[in-house]
Structure 1
Amino acid sequence: MEDITSKEINDNIKYLRLLSQQYPNISSTSAEIINLQAILNLPKGTEHFLTDIHGEHEAFSYVLKNASGVLKLKIDDLFGDILNNSEKKALATLLYYPEEKLEMIKKNEDNLENWYKITLCRLIEICRVVSSKYTRSKVRKALPKDFAYIIEELLHEDENRLNKHNYFNKIIDTIIDIKRADEFIIETCKLIQRLAIDRLHILGDIYDRGPGAHIILDQLMERDSIDIQWGNHDILWMGAAGGSEACMANVIRISTRYANLETIEEGYGINLLPLATFALRFYGGDPCTQFKTKFPKKIHFGERDLDLIAKMHKAIAIIQFKIEGQIIKKSPQYNMENRLLLDKIDHENNTIIIKGKKYHLNDTNFPTIDPSNPYELTKEEKSLVKKLKVYFLNSEKLQKHTKFLYSKGSMYLKFNSNLLYHGCIPMNQDGTFKKVTIGEEKYWGKNLLDKFNHLLTEFYFNRENIDERLFGTDIVWYLWCGENSPLFGKDQMATFERYFIDDKETHIENKNPYFKLRDDESVCRYILEEFGLEPDTSHIVNGHVPVKTIKGESPIKANGKMLVIDGGFSKAYQKKTGIAGYTLIYNSYGLRLASHKTFESTEKAISEEMDVLSTMVGLEKVNRKYVGDTDIGEKLKSEIRDLEMLLTAYRRGLIKENP
């Protein structure tokens, strides 16, 4: 504090006077300095990284509850020599699913009171360990309201200490005697789950094929410390929620493609009856063969329902192609003219010309397309789009989730020497950043992602600025499928071709050079430098493209500088990947990569005490890190400096104390 000068205080006097309202005297200021200095010396909190969840809420919930194996390791460390494997599995399952596991135990346990005593003591022991990285104040804020005082007492008392032995045991006995053991166990298990992870990182694609994206977002909103890096499927839903008709059509098309209507209808209360009515009217006699769901055996629909969904699927797909065509025609800067295909159809010969080559169409029923004006919506289509748009804009839950995605989300994040993003940084073949024109300016690298971040915020929140909003509406759709989108990363989205042309050469979507270049350590160092990170001590954490482990591909690339953790959360990808996803753990000792087995069901995880964690591999060990070594630590050091200035100002009489 000796280096704080009067000039420094005078230069910051207005801010210090404001700060003095919170810390009105020497005593309160000193206490906070001591508190913050102490926090700097706590071990760094554990970070948990997940990506590409794709609506698989049961598998996601399980991984979140077990913290990708962190809690299993805690049980092994604490009870490795005390419990056998069966007992440890039972305790772990109780931690993950306390309500369900308790019901099973109460039916099968002969001496329930004894089980309660043993289990309560074990849970308190685990809770002590996972809470040891935090201040009492932070733990206190996480405590369940009904049991806050009791848990706090148990956490900070040693049952083996003679003077407190009876006190500790009496608390446990009384919890059981007054029949509050079940509730206490449930709340303690949930507390342990929360304290096991200090920070949760979601690297995009919460939405897509699985049925429970809305459930996942409800769970995420319960977390205090969380950030989200938007994925292409998230942007699609955010665009639909903000009124983009192209995004809305894509959202509905994908939902019907996988016969996954739960999120739209049950999750967000969006009425698809108008679409069903429209589809029956115009496609009632059409078998819509190319639009049948891809996973009929895994979906609990009857044949008639699946037939109707296929008709809805085709109806919304044609509407999507029309709306997208209108955007492309008015936005030449997107360079997407090659995606204008409806006007290339020869309706007499049932063929289409793509890139100068003629292909046969496998479906020729286009009752709503006017060959002379193929991108014009019919009167009925316009009415349908208008209704659906109103439903999306007025879905209270969808709007709540979208605002949450904006408040916690961004295109990328720098956090504790890790660069997090979902898709890619658009690059040229030579390894340089690709320059992308937006409006009249060119953007690349970090500035490109910053620009898209700004435009997305304008799109959703700045509704009164009509010009920006229209531009933003197009941009949010472009981020879904545009060649230079960091969230898409391909030269085209061949949706039309996959539906209507059997020749698979038309289905090819070439990836941006980034996806080959990212294997090169020098390229990763180049990216890290672009984002202001030290390449020697930093990593890139990436998702979006599933790692094909079954073919020998590794999630660890570029000598460990690049970690790709999309390993197949979505069941649709698991045949290609061979596993059910990667997750990453970063604690005070270093980075660890967890791979997961296929998650079959919550019921099986509970009844058979299945553990989907396959392996956990240490990627990088470091000298133990403390809060002072983190980004939060840097902020705390800055706060300490401000408080030291205030303390000096009090002592020199430059600011008066308030008792």
Structure 2
Amino acid sequence: MTSCKNSADLTEIINLKAIQALPKATEHFISDIHGEFEAFDHLKRSCSGIISIKIAELFSGELTQKEQNILCFTIYYPEEFIENKTYSSDQWKVLLNRLVKVTRHVSSKYTRSKVRKALPEEYAYIMEELLYQYDQDSNKQAYYDAIFQSIIDLDLASHFAVSLARVIQQFVVDHLHILGDIYDRGSHPDSIIDALMEVPSMDLQLGNHDIIWIGAYSGSLALLAIALRISLRYGHIRLLEEGYGIDLSRLAKFADKYYEDNPAFHPRGIDKNSIRPDKFLSITKMHQAISIIQFKLEGQIIDRRPDFKMDDRKQLHIMNEDYSQITIDGQTYPIENGCFQLVDPEKPYELTLGEELLILDLANQLQHSKRFKKHIDFLMSLGQLYTLNNGNLLFHGCMPCLPNGDFMPVTFQGKSYRGRSLMDFYDQAIHEAYNHPEITDDHATDLVWYIWCGEGSTLFGKKTMKTFERYFIPDKTTHKEPQNPYYEFRNHEDFCVKLLQEFGLDESGYIVNGHTPVKALKGERPIKAHGKCLVIDGGLSRAYQKETGLAGYTLIDNSNEVYLVAHHPFTSRANAIKNLQEELPQQEIVFKRATRKMVGQTDIGHQLSQQINDLLEK
């Protein structure tokens, strides 16, 4: 007999135990979005095809494939398919009935209390009545029809249907995992973050490209230069000028004074004929100016941080007098497309006065951009380098390893870190730099730059970054960036189990990685080590799709199974809607559970057990 006498406590214990007996809700994993807002938005709205699967199950034999596709897109994009549409009363009833049927199905895993809280306040009572049909003989059908008719008569059908569609999207996936790289390459990372800020339940693992922008806000002038360089390289100045309100006119004026046209710095992914020639040339010149500033600032970091061991990444002082050749490891290479007119041979890593004033002005603008600060604050409020979730390990990049498979020790300021302690150390440095954005050259801020490109970084995953070589040295043998041995060892089950154990997890879990696009064209598979490591680089960036042959993978973990979803390249929202581009997702089952996983077996279930014990001990 329990010693708990309070009836409210007893009721709560009954409620908590009942919740533990519910099926585990569905989790959705997405990685490497890279600014491709429309593709990401479609994945989020469609829940990587889960909605299409549910509709196929519910309406098999009742709706044609085209009718199913229309219903799917009505749920994905209710604004286009429902709002301001003229339907007859009967058509509205059919649509509302179908939407209610889907809503009832996808909400069945949740408690009535949780469902009620998720419903729009103005329709909560009506939706509850429609969702909970206890009468299997349809004795209440006239009652439900009356509800629908009243909604139609009051001219609320459109708004009510849109509300149902949004509720369906929310209920299909209970929790969203974002495994990093929201920024760079695509033009709308700001819109992605705005959308993520509306997600009710999610976690976020930081990616190497996110680190660039966090570091830029946190005072790293080198990472600011890198953020600007990558934006200019892909011609995405809209993000800077319109998204974050950064005035690039001083940079443009400065670059126009000192730089000329240079094919190595033409913006990628832009049709030269689709942009005004003067704008194209301006981007090309700004791209050169900020790249030289980056190389100088990086050299300064390397000089003041000998423990980074990155002297080989300084190239400005090893070119010949006229900057036509460079000698690396005893081998001399010609330089093409050089733009070193502001590099002083006597002090190659010292900024000119103009460069210094320029980068400080840009840093001041970025730190005082309210929208940018709001986005970085959001990333830092959720962002971690790794997450432990339901016995699984989630992180973006890698765990640096030695050739023998041991975790690589990395030493900073006389103290060595490896494995989990290395990730924890980096995470602490990122937060320290973020909390003191006014300091530009402290160890923590410089560490954020190291995390972007250092050999011992858990986000970079390579021996060295060859940015300089790729711009200026035509010999492609100098462009190679050898991967860390981790990327070979993650194919082996024993290594993956060792990594899980490093984080206090057992062999029943799995590892989820992003960061490296799966090259399906070359036969690479996203499932490694017999399902112990799953690679879900979304491949949403069009720059990768020639190598991958697809738009990457997302991951679904529900109560019955874990499976990967392979995606086709996404053209545009308008195209998808126009052509109803809906196909049942290409699923690759990682494993099916022998028995259905319940809430009681999850992290939430363990928390509920603790709450129950606390109540029993009162």
TM-score category of the 2 structures, normalised to the smaller one: over 0.9
- 1:292 deviates by 0.4
1:268 corresponds in structure 2 to 244
Q: Give the unaligned 5+ runs of structure 1.
A: 10-24, 647-659
After TM superposition, list the pairs within 5 Å mapping 1:58-137 onto structure 2.
Answer: 58-102=38-82, 106=86, 112-137=88-113
Q: Does 1:538 align with 2:509?
A: yes
Deviations 1:343-375 (A, max 9, x none): 112133611122222111112432211111011
Letter in 2 for 1:603: A
2:370 corresponds in structure 1 to 396
Contact 1:584 1:593 in 2 (8 A): yes
2:553 corresponds in structure 1 to 582
**Of 162, 185, 192, the match for 2:161:** 185
Contact 1:157 1:168 in 2 (8 A): no
What value does the CA root-mean-square deviation take over the aligned residues?
A: 1.8
- 1:301 deviates by 2.1
2:117 corresponds in structure 1 to 141
Change over 3 Å in CA distance of 1:567–1:548 after alignment to 2: farther
Deviations 1:479-532 (A, max 9, x none): 111111010011111111111111111111111011111111111111111111
Contact 2:29 2:555 in 1 (8 A): yes
- 1:299 deviates by 8.8
After TM superposition, list the pairs within 5 Å mapping 1:74-473 onto structure 2.
Answer: 74-102=54-82, 106=86, 112-157=88-133, 161-283=137-259, 286-297=260-271, 300-348=274-322, 350-462=324-436, 470-473=442-445
Deviations 1:142-175 (A, max 9, x none): 1123322221221123576454222211110111
Letter in 2 for 1:484: G
Deviations 1:111-169 (A, max 9, x none): 63221100101101111111111112211221123322221221123576454222211
- 1:560 deviates by 1.2
> Identity percentage over the alignment?
47
- 1:105 deviates by 5.8
Question: Higher helix share goes to which structure?
Answer: 1
**Of 582, 599, 611, the match for 2:570:** 599
- 1:431 deviates by 0.7
1:621 corresponds in structure 2 to 592
Deviations 1:458-484 (A, max 9, x none): 1112568x69x7111101111111111
How many residues are paired up?
617
SS at match of 1:583: strand
Cα distance in 1 for residues equivalent to 2:84 and 2:297: 53
**Of 541, 552, 570, the match for 2:523:** 552
SS at match of 1:618: strand
2:486 corresponds in structure 1 to 514
Contact 1:66 1:72 in 2 (8 A): yes
Cα distance in 2 for residues equivalent to 1:299 and 1:499: 23
1:478 corresponds in structure 2 to 450
Contact 2:46 2:169 in 1 (8 A): yes
Contact 1:48 1:67 in 2 (8 A): yes
Q: Does 1:630 align with 2:602?
A: yes
SS at match of 1:49: strand
Contact 2:20 2:605 in 1 (8 A): yes
Contact 1:158 1:165 in 2 (8 A): no
SS at match of 2:48: helix
- 1:569 deviates by 1.1
- 1:567 deviates by 4.7
2:13 corresponds in structure 1 to 33
SS at match of 2:317: helix
Could you list the structure 1 runs, at least 4 aligned residues long, displaced by more than 4 angstroms after superposition: 158-163
Letter in 1 for 2:7: S
- 1:236 deviates by 0.6
Cα distance in 2 for residues equivalent to 1:315 and 1:359: 23
Contact 1:567 1:577 in 2 (8 A): no
TM-score (norm 1): 0.91
SS at match of 1:344: coil
1:644 corresponds in structure 2 to 616
Change over 3 Å in CA distance of 1:246–1:365 after alignment to 2: closer
Contact 2:33 2:538 in 1 (8 A): no
Cα distance in 2 for residues equivalent to 1:431 and 1:61: 39
Cα distance in 1 for residues equivalent to 2:584 and 2:55: 15
2:25 corresponds in structure 1 to 45
Deviations 1:303-327 (A, max 9, x none): 2211110101000000000111000
Deviations 1:91-128 (A, max 9, x none): 0010101111236964xxxx632211001011011111
Change over 3 Å in CA distance of 1:162–1:125 after alignment to 2: closer
Letter in 1 for 2:143: Y
1:16 corresponds in structure 2 to none
Change over 3 Å in CA distance of 1:298–1:91 after alignment to 2: farther
- 1:549 deviates by 0.4
Contact 1:158 1:164 in 2 (8 A): no
- 1:46 deviates by 0.3
Cα distance in 2 for residues equivalent to 1:231 and 1:326: 25
Change over 3 Å in CA distance of 1:190–1:112 after alignment to 2: same
Cα distance in 2 for residues equivalent to 1:637 and 1:49: 26
- 1:28 deviates by 2.1
Q: Does 1:562 align with 2:533?
A: yes
TM-score (norm 2): 0.97
Cα distance in 1 for residues equivalent to 2:289 and 2:206: 29
Change over 3 Å in CA distance of 1:50–1:162 after alignment to 2: closer
Cα distance in 2 for residues equivalent to 1:299 and 1:219: 32
Contact 2:429 2:445 in 1 (8 A): no
- 1:576 deviates by 0.3
Cα distance in 2 for residues equivalent to 1:62 and 1:446: 35
Cα distance in 1 for residues equivalent to 2:272 and 2:102: 39
Cα distance in 2 for residues equivalent to 1:587 and 1:313: 46
Cα distance in 1 for residues equivalent to 2:84 and 2:341: 57
Letter in 2 for 1:102: I
SS at match of 1:442: strand
Cα distance in 1 for residues equivalent to 2:482 and 2:253: 38
- 1:31 deviates by 2.0
Change over 3 Å in CA distance of 1:621–1:144 after alignment to 2: same
Contact 1:253 1:316 in 2 (8 A): yes
